[in-house]
A and B are shown apart, each in its own frame.
Chain A
């Protein structure tokens, strides 16, 4: 390499970094500033619709991790299954969403929330009433397009960078 040319490439590169200094930052200050997640977010908290569930256990058979446990009994007068216990161990859940996809009665939803830290390991096992939807536990639009259309629009970085070169 010729010594006299030395430094030209470095100076050229530094112009790029200087231009970057003057750009708007693209980072978000997370706990204070929140971006909208995807409408199809697969949050970890599985949400269960007790009314629609028939206890067929398709979700439990589909789950690759064996997270879902269902105990049912047969109701004599109505001639159908009664779900006695619907339990999932979120510690094993890999959030693949195959259970939601498999449910023939659309009784399962992925959660829209994504903060899922717990203080105790035992809290990871969730059952029955804990799995129902509430104001804090909103279902996401994964495999449920009717819910997806009501959720806020996802923030996209590609739209936040406005400058064109």
Chain B
């Protein structure tokens, strides 16, 4: 068949567009319907968090980290707090370690629910799976509200532990959630896993090859869907992750469908970790003795965790004052986004939305 060449046409998708999950612009050059070049433009949500961090106390930065990836505030708190603890050489009580694992895994489920829901929404399952998943996320948000007093920007973790101990009603409610959740994940699978329209639209679309995924230093579900078994919880266990048994789900093809499946499987593994941590949760203090103004010795530290979206790291340089000299954030959303152009070239404009949705980014983290 002879292909008809048309004149290249530049189309701006975004910055304000429902499928760009925030203020993000894709400058797509089209040949008919096919994308021949794509230039991501970001920076519309830049708030200068790294610079703001240089003039705040170490504790005062924790509310700022909430605002990076606002769908996974607890994970951001954890990554930052781990970096400061590494910098200042603070150890935390056993109970706080277990609670951190429980909370981080709950947050992973909450974030993946949004990721999967929004991805299915982009595929055309208009808001049905999204709202089902929002209902389950609501339960997690309820639990976090009980702990911290807010529903989105938790600001719950502190250097050396937590602000307050968990209330008495937390563990029974968590137990109920952990018992309910597997049946709901099965239900989502039943709803759309074998849906022919979804398979036709997502299978084999937006393939990210293994080599390229490693080259662009992708992380999280995007990397694992390409078949690389890389999870910070296993390769560099922080906190107490080496005490729990869990698998790392990986994909084979590295397409949009694999990225969706990896996220669903990760939710199951997270529930497994929570169950183990709940059984072993010891009693005791939840915060070690830390001075009100932390003044770490001069030096540098890098604390990283497996956040829901990938490897989230905080690089801190201290000059022995009450504020960091430099705070750099390794944001998984930004680095996963660098694969966008290679994934999109050759696909049609309607596939672009799905490919973009399958990466699962939060603009708050990309622009910082």
Contacts and interface: CB of A to CB of B under 8 A. Distances in A.
A95 B150 contact: yes
Interface in A7-45: 7-10, 12-13, 15-17, 20, 26, 37-42
Contacts of A7: 196
A91 interface: no
A17 B130 CA distance: 13
Contacts of A148: 167
Nearest to A7: B196
B199 A38 contact: no
A6 B180 CA distance: 32
B128 interface: yes
B73 to A, nearest CB: 12
A1 B199 contact: yes
Contacts of B139: 156-158, 161
Interface string B156-195: 0000000110010100010011001001000100111111
A156 B200 contact: no
Given A17-B191, A40-B164, A156 B173 contact: yes
B146 A154 contact: yes
A159 B197 contact: no
B138 A16 contact: no
A121 B153 CA distance: 24
A125 interface: no
A94 B66 CA distance: 11
A146 B176 CA distance: 27
Among A1, A16, A20, which residue has the most Cβ atoms of chain B within 10 A?
A: A16
Contact of B183 (A98, A154, A165): A165
B192 A13 contact: yes
B145 interface: yes
A41 B145 CA distance: 7
Interface stretch (B57-65, B263-271, B294-302): B57-65
Q: How large is the interface on A (under 10, 10 to 19, 20 to 34, 35 or more residues)?
A: 35 or more
Contacts of A41: 145, 149-150
A42 B148 CA distance: 8
Nearest to A27: B135
B147 interface: yes
Given A158-B173, A158-B176, A17 B197 contact: no
B145 A38 contact: yes
A37 to B, nearest CB: 7
Nearest to B147: A40
Contact of A13 (B138, B176, B177, B191): B191
Contacts of A15: 190
A143 B147 CA distance: 11
A97 interface: yes
A37 B173 contact: no
A126 interface: no
B142 interface: yes
A48 interface: no
A95 B154 CA distance: 10
B348 to A, nearest CB: 18
B155 interface: yes
Contacts of B155: 96-98
B9 interface: no
B191 A140 contact: no
A8 B183 CA distance: 21
A62 interface: yes
Contact of A64 (B56, B132, B153, B163): B56
Nearest to A165: B183
A161 B149 CA distance: 22
Contact of B167 (A17, A39, A97): A39
Contacts of A42: 148-150
A102 interface: yes
B132 A9 contact: no
A154 B169 CA distance: 9
Contact of A143 (B128, B163, B193, B198): B163
Given A38-B145, A165-B183, A98 B60 contact: yes
Given A40-B147, A98-B60, A159 B176 contact: yes
A86 interface: no
A49 interface: no
Contact of A102 (B61, B132, B292): B292
Contact of B149 (A13, A94, A110): A110
B70 to A, nearest CB: 13
A128 interface: no
7 contacts: A1-B199, A64-B56, A95-B153, A98-B63, A98-B155, A140-B149, A156-B143
Interface of A: 1, 5-10, 12-13, 15-17, 20, 26, 37-42, 62, 64, 94-98, 101-102, 110, 140, 142-143, 145, 148, 153-154, 156-159, 161, 164-165
- Please give me the 5 A-B residue pairs with the lowest Cβ-Cβ distance, nearest first: A64-B60, A9-B194, A40-B149, A96-B63, A42-B149
